[in-house]
A and B are shown apart, each in its own frame.
Chain A
Amino acid sequence: MTMDAMDTVKASHIRTMIAGNAREDGRGAYDFRDIKLTAGLLQNAEGSAQAQIGNTTVLAGVKLDIEEPMPDTPKQGNLIMSAELLPLASEAYETGPPSPQAIEFGRVVDRGIRHGNCIDLESLFIEDEKVWTVFIDLYVLNYDGNLFDAGTLAAMGALMNTKVPKVEDGEAVREDRTKKMKINNIVTSTTFAKIKDKIILDPNGDEEMAADCRLTIATDGEKVKSMQKGKSGGLFKSEIEEMLGTAFNKHKGLKDILESSQV
């Protein structure tokens, strides 16, 4: 992305601040912004949740359709994740086919949830050749950095909130949704940015623009489930070690937010 003059000034200001261990909004290096998670805000979708991390807002909607299983998993439901960076969410987002950023965003959130075995896909088997496909669509409504953590919270929150329609004669009866979808595991994501030799958690939009690189880590508190580095700066092994430790420390707080959003 090309930076205009204003961005260049802003980036250099942020880099100077971070070098002096300070952040624009007064946060500590490993503090999240305020997080708000609202689950079940849509009624037509089978599941939904909206996550806000500071001014970043991501809405996740879940739909369930009856489809054929994948040939290599005939007894399991399917999971399909996609992401839209809506033009209303930022000056920088445009209409048209999905950008590499949008594709990366959807795929990174997908990997954490898929490899975390969050959904009990076996519970989504209906009968031979018929399973539920879980469509998760991530809608970015407002961008201010750290889409990945907001996206994972929204997706996870929506899945925990999802109800499976009744099946009659092989068809979905969407009016009758009493059964909760079975969730096996809760995965959370933490994203770090590196500016010069400093590491910060939950970069906002300006910090993300000023950063040399970022690393997103998804974990269930026991294991690392997925990682994704972004931007062109490099990371040393010792820095990755520090970020992994912090990601594990942050898991419980995020999990609590997910669980308390469901009441």
Chain B
Amino acid sequence: MGGGPNKPELVIKGKRTDGRDFNELRPIKITASPLENAGGSAYLEWGNNKVMCGVYGPKEANPRHLADPTQAVIKCRYMMAPFSSLSEHGRSGPNRRATEISKVVKEVFENVVMTKEYPGSQIEVYIEILQGDGGTRVAGVTAAAVALATSGIPMRDLPYAVSVGRIGDHLTVDFNMIEDNYSDSDMPMAIAPRNNEILLLQMDGDLTKQQVLDGIQMGIDAGKQITEIQRNALKAAYEATTK
């Protein structure tokens, strides 16, 4: 963020570089249950982000000493594929950034998954970023929620995630990669749509108190559309099995 010396214009004639308005999401497409072996899965395209998510479990916790006798343990791995970015070949395996994201994403699903139903077990959530174009963690959460739902594991809610940032004076929904690299602030969040409870919140950059609050509201407003896309994906997968 803040970016290098060659900062491009991010706002041209009141529109963003890709022609969107400030409160406009990129196109989102979700396919529920694309994978055969995983207990639940989802494939998501969010702008140029491409994310595959698979869920395994509940199954016996491994290693055994990490089992919690009162509830299921959720394990989450977010990872960017070495070929996922436009720049050079990435290192394989999770780096520090991925480790942190895996942790905060896990905490989202610890909230909504009814873990008390499965004491002593583990539920594995794998988020693989096949192509990254800004906002991969929010794309990953949105996909993982659908994957968990298709696995049949009971959840209190179907969370979504979205990011709101600032370009100059404009609060802006859903940065693409260029905006992500050169904007002034970014604030990813995950939300439970049932009561607008915020389950993931991170922010860096430079925002006033009011901009933080307005940004959260902007995320909630954009979320209505994301929730609908998630639900339609689940509906389509269900209808396909009943035909």
Q: How far is the CB of A81 from chain B (nearest CB, A)?
A: 10
| Residues B209-230 near A (CB distance < 8 A) | 209, 211-213, 216-217, 220
Pairwise interchain contact B208-A224, C-beta atoms closer than 8 A: yes
Pairwise interchain contact B111-A103, C-beta atoms closer than 8 A: no
A232 within 8 A of B: yes
**In the complex, chain B residues whose CB is within 8 Å of the CB of A96:** none
| Residues B185-223 near A (CB distance < 8 A) | 187, 192, 195-209, 211-213, 216-217, 220
Q: State in angstroms the CA–CA spacing of A107 and B205 once bound together.
A: 14
Pairwise interchain contact A237-B206, C-beta atoms closer than 8 A: no
Pairwise interchain contact B107-A230, C-beta atoms closer than 8 A: yes
Pairwise interchain contact A235-B209, C-beta atoms closer than 8 A: no
**In the complex, chain A residues whose CB is within 8 Å of the CB of B204:** 111, 114-115, 225-227
CB closest residue in chain B, given A73: B4
**In the complex, chain B residues whose CB is within 8 Å of the CB of A245:** 209
Q: How far is the CB of A91 from chain B (nearest CB, A)?
A: 15
Pairwise interchain contact A107-B100, C-beta atoms closer than 8 A: yes
**In the complex, chain A residues whose CB is within 8 Å of the CB of B104:** 104, 228-230
Pairwise interchain contact B206-A115, C-beta atoms closer than 8 A: yes
Pairwise interchain contact A236-B197, C-beta atoms closer than 8 A: yes
**In the complex, chain A residues whose CB is within 8 Å of the CB of B197:** 234-236
Interface size class of A (residues with CB under 8 A): 35 or more
Pairwise interchain contact A236-B196, C-beta atoms closer than 8 A: yes
A72 within 8 A of B: yes
| Residues A191-232 near B (CB distance < 8 A) | 213, 215, 223-232
**In the complex, chain A residues whose CB is within 8 Å of the CB of B192:** 234
Q: How far is the CB of B168 from chain A (nearest CB, A)?
A: 14
Q: State in angstroms the CA–CA spacing of A240 and B196 once bound together.
A: 13
| Residues A223-263 near B (CB distance < 8 A) | 223-237, 240-241, 244-245, 248
Residue from the set A71, A73, A100, A114 with the largest chain B CB neighbour count within 10 Å? A100
A43 within 8 A of B: no
A2 within 8 A of B: yes
Could you list 12 A-B pairs, sorted by A, with CB under 8 Å?
A71-B4, A101-B103, A213-B107, A228-B201, A229-B198, A229-B201, A234-B111, A235-B201, A236-B197, A237-B216, A240-B213, A244-B213
Chain B residues within CB distance 8 Å of chain A = 1, 3-5, 66-68, 96-97, 99-100, 102-104, 107-108, 110-111, 187, 192, 195-209, 211-213, 216-217, 220
